[in-house]
Amino acid sequence: MEKVNSMGLKSEDLEDQSKYRQLLAISYNELIDFILDYLRRRSGLMIFFWSVCLIFLGIALFVRINISGYFPLKNIMLHSMLGFIVFPLLSIPLHEGLHIIPFLMTGARKIRVGMDLRQYIFYVTAHRHVVNAREFRFVALVPFVTVTIALFTLVLFLPGLWKWSLSLFLFVHTTMCAGDFALLNFLLLNRRKKIYTWDDADEKMAYFYEEI
């Protein structure tokens, strides 16, 4: 697998205060507050994200209303549960796995997967592995782009109520990407800075630095 990280920076390098300044340190226990904060901060990216959520919800409702044929209520309820609950839960390992692949491509090796059910958060982190803003965007966007393309394709070609359950799942999965888009919004709002980030998985802390 080809590496896309050419910087070779170590987390210790960012402690050099003559070259780098810490912008933010986030405890994993406070991630939900950070996510909600940056989801509310207005930017073109947030307009895009919330617009996509509404569009995908509209598509799901349009698909349901316009499916031809008669379907028993129990089948409709079954596919509604599949799209709204079952598929999203089953997709969590896939979503997190799709973060792991780009992390590996940046050269990360000490990759860990975790969850915080109190905050309803699942995450992938690369212990003490430094990535720049471009690499972080790559890691963050791969699950959204991959799953969206796959589900659009399935909705187009599968028959009947499968279109409904999968189009509903498309909407729900997009909302599941809210944490990724909040982090991307942080980078966007600091786009004039040359940012690097790394996580201490043992201490459950995320750090963001800018190059001076």
pLDDT at residue number 83: 98
Confidence band for 68, pLDDT divided at 50, 70 and 90: confident
Domain presence at residue 147: yes
Could you tell me if residue 1 is inside a domain?
A: no
In a domain, 199, yes or no: yes
User: In this structure, is residue 21 part of a structural domain?
Assistant: yes
Is beta strand 131-132 parallel, antiparallel or unpaired with respect to 121-126? unpaired
**Domain that includes residue 157, residue range:** 11-211
Report the domain count for the chain: 1
4 is a domain residue: no
> What's the mean pLDDT in 83-91?
98
| pLDDT above 80 for 5 | no
Would you say 20 and 209 are in contact if contact means Cβ atoms under 8 Å apart? yes
- Residue-level pLDDT at 7: 58
How far apart (Å, rounded) are the C-alpha atoms in residues 148 and 38? Answer: 23
- Of 162, 140, 185, whose CA–CA distance to 44 is shortest? 185
pLDDT at 6: 40
| pLDDT above 80: residue 97 | yes
- Across all residues in the chain, what is the average pLDDT? 94
Measured distance CA(140)–CA(146) in Å, rounded: 11
61 located within any domain: yes
Could you give the CA distance from residue 78 to residue 86 in angstroms, rounded to a whole number?
10
Domain-embedded: residue 140: yes
On whether residue 68 sits in a domain, the answer given is: yes
60 CB-contact burial (10 Å; exposed 0-12 / middle 13-18 / buried 19+): buried
pLDDT score for 209: 97
Please check the confidence at residue 53 and state whether its pLDDT lies above 90.
yes
Q: What is the pTM of this model?
A: 0.90
Report residue 203's pLDDT band, with 50, 70 and 90 as the boundaries.
very high
**What percent of the residues of the chain are helix, what percent strand, and what percent coil, each to the nearest 5?**
60, 20, 20
Please give the Cα distance from 39 to 31 (Å, whole number): 12
